[in-house]
Structures are given as structure tokens and as C-alpha cells.
Chains A and B, each alone.
Chain A
Amino acid sequence: MSNSRKEIMKLLGDFSTIGLTLAASVFVGVGIGYLLDHKVFKGKTAPWLTLIFLGFGIAAGFKNLYMLAKRKDL
């Protein structure tokens, strides 16, 4: 395999992760918030920690996107 083609395969593998990572970050954020709300604090803080960690999850997803977008080696 030539060098440029290998490079393209590597970049394809790398950038095909964008969508799934964005979705997974949101789900992990909501999951942590829900667990904190309902298992740790027994529903006293009911919707708030879920919402806060949803925000963290979305921020994590977009941070990943941003880090991939501003890579220097392209």
C-alpha cells in the first residue's frame, strides 16, 4: 500500500469516530447525572443534576469535535 493511501485510511478511521463519540458523550453525561440524582441523592435534587450533567456531556462531545477540527498535522 502506498504511503498516501495508508494516511487516508488512518484519517478515515480517525474521523469516522466523530458522530458516535458525540452521541456517546451526551449519553454518558445524562447517565452520570441520572445516577447522581436517583441513586446517590435519592431524588432530592431531582431534575437538576441530570440537566447539569447533560450540559457537561454536550460540552464534552463538542470539545472532542473541536480538538479533532483544530489538528495541526492535516
Chain B
Amino acid sequence: MEHPILFISVILQTIGLPVPHGPVGDTLLAKIVSPHLTYTWLVMAFLIIVPKLTLGKLEMIPGKGQNFWELIIDGLEGFMAENMGEEGARLMFPMLATFAFYILTSNLIGLMPGFMSPTSNINITLGCTLIVFTTTHILGIKFHGVKYIKHFMGPIPWLIPLMFPIEVISHLARILSLSIRLFGNIMAKETLLGILFLLAGAFFAPLPILFLGVFVSLVQALVFVLLSILYFSGAMEHAH
């Protein structure tokens, strides 16, 4: 398959940096300038600069930009509050809102020609998932102390040798399923778009997939945040 043209990689190549042609480079420098990392930085810069520009100064009577951001933030907080309670929502809001914005933006950025979704690389999604997994257990230990181990024991004492491995495996399976769901959906979208552009780009063949891509990007960002909320609230509530 023809390599897609990614404009950051082209710019970096003309400067003289060793941009890898495969998914991962050999040296440390090649790893740093690989496309999924440079596009992660682009998304981060976008998410830092654009709210700064549109928000302006915070005012009592919001203008256009502030109204927009207040609507989004308020909706997100309400969504979290009804799923994990007011206290948990206030505690975990910064992290989960960051995940929501980052994943949504990096899913949608791949729909433009010349850009690539960072989430179509498994290293990025696995990183996000490991953060969620670690935070889940930190929250459990913070809220329950040593008694957090009761979450893994099941209800009946003599079934503990059976239930403990089952619970541990089902917790570890979350890492796999959460990361592979996001990665698989986004990579499928990217690959399909690339192939359709090559085959029949002049006849607007990728157009229906672009439409579906918007839907998939929204739903996958929502599902990632929703599942993180469910895991967090599961760790915070009392053992059955």
C-alpha cells in the first residue's frame, strides 16, 4: 500500500530528521519523531491553544466562546455526576475530561487528509488504558484501604480459591478489551479511508466512510469515557 502523506512527517523529513517509514523506528530520535507521537503533540497544542484563543477573559455574562465551552464542560460533568455520584465526579473530572477531549480530537483529526489519528496506534490507546487501570486500583485502595481485596473475593468464603483468579483475570481483561476496542475501530477507519482514497478517490468513494468516521469517533470517545467511569465507580463502591 502507498504510504499516506502526513504533512508533519514531510516537514520533519525535509529538516533532516529520521522519520520512520514503518510504524516504529529503531533509534530513540526516530521513535520520538514517529507519526503517532508528532500528531499527539499536534492534538495537545490544539487543545491548549484553541480554548485559550476562544475563551478570552472569563466574564459573568458569557460571550460566544465561553458559552460554547461552558456547555460542553457542564454536559460532561452532568454525565459523570449521574453515573458516579457528585463526589466521585468532582474528584475524577479533570482526568476524564482530558481523556474525552484528547480521544475525541485525535479520533476526528484523522478524517482530514494529511493528518493521522494518534489513537490508530496501539501504543497510544494502551497508554491511556494503563492510566485508567492504575487509577482504578489506586482509587479502590484510597477508598477502602486493605479491605479493597474483598472486591476480588466474591461473596462466599469457601469459593475464594476459585473466585480470586477469575476476578483478577477479568480485571486484566479490561486492559485488553478497552485498548483494543479504541485502537481497532480507529485503525479500521483510517485503513479503509486510505484504501478507498487510493482506489476511487476521484469518484468520492470515501465520502460515506467519512460520514461513518465521524460517528465512530464520537461513539468510541464516549464509550472509552463511559467505561472508565464505570470502572472507577465500581472501585469506589462497597464490595457486594
Contacts and interface: CB of A to CB of B under 8 A. Distances in A.
Interface of A: 9-10, 13-14, 16-17, 20-21, 23-25, 27-29, 32, 53, 56-57, 59-61, 63-64
B165 A53 contact: yes
Given A20-B181, A25-B169, A53-B165, 12 more contacts: A20-B180, A21-B173, A21-B174, A23-B177, A24-B173, A24-B180, A27-B173, A32-B169, A59-B166, A60-B165, A60-B170, A64-B173
A63 B226 contact: no
Contacts of A9: 222
- Majority secondary structure, A binding face: helix
Interface residues of B, number: 20
B17 interface: no
Contacts of B180: 20, 24
A53 B165 CA distance: 8
Nearest to B184: A20
Contacts of B230: 14
B172 interface: yes
Contacts of B222: 9, 13
A23 B181 CA distance: 12
B166 A63 contact: yes
A62 to B, nearest CB: 9
A31 to B, nearest CB: 9
Given A24-B173, A24-B177, A13 B166 contact: no
Interface in B157-190: 162, 165-167, 169-170, 172-174, 176-177, 180-181
